[in-house]
Structure 1
């Protein structure tokens, strides 16, 4: 898939077939995430692959906007490392870039995926830390639910010239 085609046709998919997602496919998606830009090339991210149905169901009960996890074959929790020494306050942008790369890679590999926000909601951060045994210095940031799509959505153009300003506002 060409890059612009992937960007312009990717949509949030929340319905999945029950077919499992192979670990090799997930690993390719993680490679895309880890190749995202990061401040000072610090790469302050960690990833938790979640493919046990009982865990996905528990998370769907904890998170009000993650009901699709009940039927999701796999998800990846993107986390930021608070011990990143050089550019401490940029982990949010870094994990955002990794999350977007993973969404595009999933689309390119024929999967449907959706970004589920976690950070900055402290209650969700703490509940995920406890459920998944995440150390205190690691902050759950986003979750990417993924699977083979059981719904089709066509791309839609969101380009809006009224949002563009040249040189000054």
Structure 2
């Protein structure tokens, strides 16, 4: 698939076929994620992202408990928790941004491989989700210096899922030249 087509046609998928994703495919996804930009030039800043590969049914059920309207979490054949090691970026503290770039690579690679994926970040920025976040961190056994950035559910898309196309703002509504 061409890159621009992949970017323009990728959608969030929340209904998956009951079909396992091979370890080789998972390695391919992580391999693509690690090619994301990470700032500072070669070898100046470390790649600070970390990935937790979740296929275990019990752990998926624990994660799904934190999402009343997201039972698709436990039904996904694969969940990847995207994390960042805060100790690797003491100077700029841009760990969330660089891990998000790796996440985008992972989402696009999933789509290119014929997989569907859904990017979940509800727990990261909303003050109302502090308890939910704490439980997710506990379920994943994250050490204090590791920041949970996103959960990505991944699987082969169920063709019966009806997906509404999102309305996108017009380019001219969001584009400013030379200044605001």
TM surpasses 0.5: yes
Of 80, 85, 97, the match for 1:81: 85
**Equivalent residue, structure 1, for 2:150:** 142
Aligned to 2:58: 54
Q: CA RMSD in A?
A: 2.0
Residue-pair matches, total: 169
1:124 aligns with 2:128: no
Q: Distance in 2 between matches of 1:62 and 1:31?
A: 29
Answer yes or no: is the 8 Å Cα contact 2:19–2:155 preserved in 1. yes
1:130 Cα deviation after fit: 1.4
Q: 1:148 to 1:125 in 2, by over 3 A?
A: same
Alignment of 1:4-153 (within 5 A): 4-40=4-40, 41-64=45-68, 66-117=70-121, 118-120=123-125, 121-150=129-158, 151=161, 153=163
Tell me, in whole angstroms, the C-alpha distance in 2 between the residues paired with 1:72 and 1:123: 23
Where does residue 166 of structure 1 map in the other structure?
177
SS class of match (1:110)? coil
TM-score in terms of structure 1 length: 0.90
Structure 1, unmatched stretches of 5+, are: none
Structure 2 length as normaliser, TM-score? 0.85
TM-superposed deviation, 1:114: 0.6
In the alignment, is the contact (CA less than 8 A) between 1:114 and 1:145 conserved in 2?
yes
Cα distance, 1:88 vs structure 2: 4.5
